[in-house]
């Protein structure tokens, strides 16, 4: 169906919302008129229908780029797609929030520096939870749960542009921010998500695979967690990489500040054994993106290491990647190696 572009005038009482100038509801409503915090001053009755092919854009939540905007970026610069994979509560959004925090604090240096982002509003929205403290402690939920609808929602991507200080070329990354329920469905009802919701996984240049550390260590939940890990890895390989070469996978064991340090290697070993059954190129990382016990692991532990691993794998890559997510099989050489003078390869 064609997108509808509507001219609206009004104000919003929701903190940080700039719908009057951007036309985007930060609470994720399709139209600002559906938001209870928005007060309309005047509605223009004229509605112009514009198809996507004519350059239309759907109003987005501000949390991330959709397929159209992500495709526009991918046509303009070498762009690396990194699906952030994990079941509900694995810590996917906290990982993205921590990555952005490291960018702002300059903690990616000396290897990388932050250059720009097309999703600053989205990242800032995520950071609001970490700025709210209750008697010196973080709230029970730092970030809002990503919408879990299985219908009526396309994937969102958060954009980071990074640069090696000694290199002139900028590196564009698109990290997916999608509900964990989509990966639950990939395990139990793969046909419901592989054709549209998670189709972008087949375009991945690398994957960040998250598993909840405390559930691995707890004997009451270990069996279920390992079983979910096996099934999710198996589905990823069967549905997206059976007919093409596997991409590197960074495996993040999250929330490890809730696990005693003497058990960290045990968790690494469990995940290493599972990865070896399904994956060709992988590395396991202990992670504490937003720790509640910073005396065990400091904020952002493992987050930079994962990014550097992905970047280094891209530097070694000579794969030919699809130009966009969907459409004609137009192909271009997007590997970072091409920026360093490497020969074309497949």
Provide the CATH number for the domain around residue 100.
3.40.50.300
Whether 93 and 11 map to the same domain: the answer is: no
Whether 162 and 19 map to the same domain: the answer is: no
With residue 221 as reference, give the H or E element that holds it.
none
Does residue 346 fall inside a structural domain?
A: no
Does residue 303 fall inside a structural domain?
A: yes
Whether 301 and 333 map to the same domain: the answer is: yes
Does residue 197 fall inside a structural domain?
A: yes
Whether 35 and 76 map to the same domain: the answer is: no
Tally of structural domains, the chain: 2
- The domain boundary residue, chosen from 32, 54, 76: 54
Q: What is the pLDDT of residue 37?
A: 72
Whether 110 and 189 map to the same domain: the answer is: yes
Higher-confidence position of 44 and 72: 72
Please tell me the pTM assigned to this model: 0.73
Range of the domain at 259: 67-340
Mean pLDDT value across the chain: 77
Q: Can you tell me the mean pLDDT for 275-289?
A: 95
First to last CA, the chain: 37
Q: Do 312 and 303 meet the contact criterion of CB atoms below 8 Å apart?
A: no
User: CA angle 220-222-228, nearest 5°?
Assistant: 125
pLDDT at 262 over 70: yes
Whether 118 and 261 map to the same domain: the answer is: yes
Helix, strand, or coil (residue 95): helix
**Sequence-separated (6 or more) residues with CB below 8 Å from residue 64:** 119, 122, 156, 157, 158, 159, 177
Whether 11 and 118 map to the same domain: the answer is: no
Tens digit of each residue's pLDDT (9 = 90 or more) over 154-204: 788 999 999 998 888 888 999 999 999 999 999 999 988 888 889 889 889
Does residue 202 fall inside a structural domain?
A: yes
46-50, 71-75, 188-192, 327-331: range with highest mean pLDDT: 188-192
């Amino acid at each position: 169906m064609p997108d509808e572009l509507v001219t609206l005038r009004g104000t919003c009482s929701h903190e940080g919302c700039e719908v009057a100038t951007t036309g985007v509801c930060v609470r994720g409503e399709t139209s600002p008129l559906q938001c209870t915090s928005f007060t309309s001053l005047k509605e223009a009755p004229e509605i112009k229908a514009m198809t996507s092919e004519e350059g239309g854009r759907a109003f987005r939540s501000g949390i991330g780029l959709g397929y159209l905007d992500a495709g526009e970026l991918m046509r303009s610069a070498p762009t690396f797609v990194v699906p952030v994979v994990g079941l509900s509560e694995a810590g996917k959004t906290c990982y993205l929030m921590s990555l952005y925090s490291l960018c702002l604090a300059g903690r990616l240096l000396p290897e990388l520096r932050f250059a720009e982002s097309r999703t600053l509003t989205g990242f800032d929205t995520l950071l609001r939870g970490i700025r709210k403290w209750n008697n010196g402690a973080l709230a029970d939920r730092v970030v809002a749960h990503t919408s879990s609808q299985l219908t009526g929602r396309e994937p969102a991507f958060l954009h980071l542009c990074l640069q090696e200080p000694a290199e002139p070329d900028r590196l564009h990354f698109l990290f997916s921010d999608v509900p964990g329920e989509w990966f639950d469905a990939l395990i139990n009802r793969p046909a419901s998500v592989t054709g549209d919701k998670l189709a972008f996984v087949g375009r991945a240049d690398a994957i960040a695979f998250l598993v909840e550390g405390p559930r691995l260590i707890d004997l009451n939940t270990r069996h279920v967690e390992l079983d979910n890990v096996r099934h999710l890895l198996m589905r990823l390989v069967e549905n997206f990489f059976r007919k093409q070469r596997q991409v590197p996978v960074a495996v993040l064991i999250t929330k490890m500040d809730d696990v005693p340090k003497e058990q960290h290697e045990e968790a690494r070993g469990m995940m290493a054994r599972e990865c070896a059954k399904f994956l060709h190129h992988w590395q396991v990382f202990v992670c504490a993106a937003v720790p509640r016990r910073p005396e065990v692991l400091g904020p952002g532990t493992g987050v930079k290491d994962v990014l550097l691993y992905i970047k280094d794998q891209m530097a070694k890559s000579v794969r030919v990647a699809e130009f966009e997510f969907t459409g004609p099989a137009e192909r271009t050489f997007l590997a970072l190696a091409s920026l360093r003078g490497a020969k074309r390869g497949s």
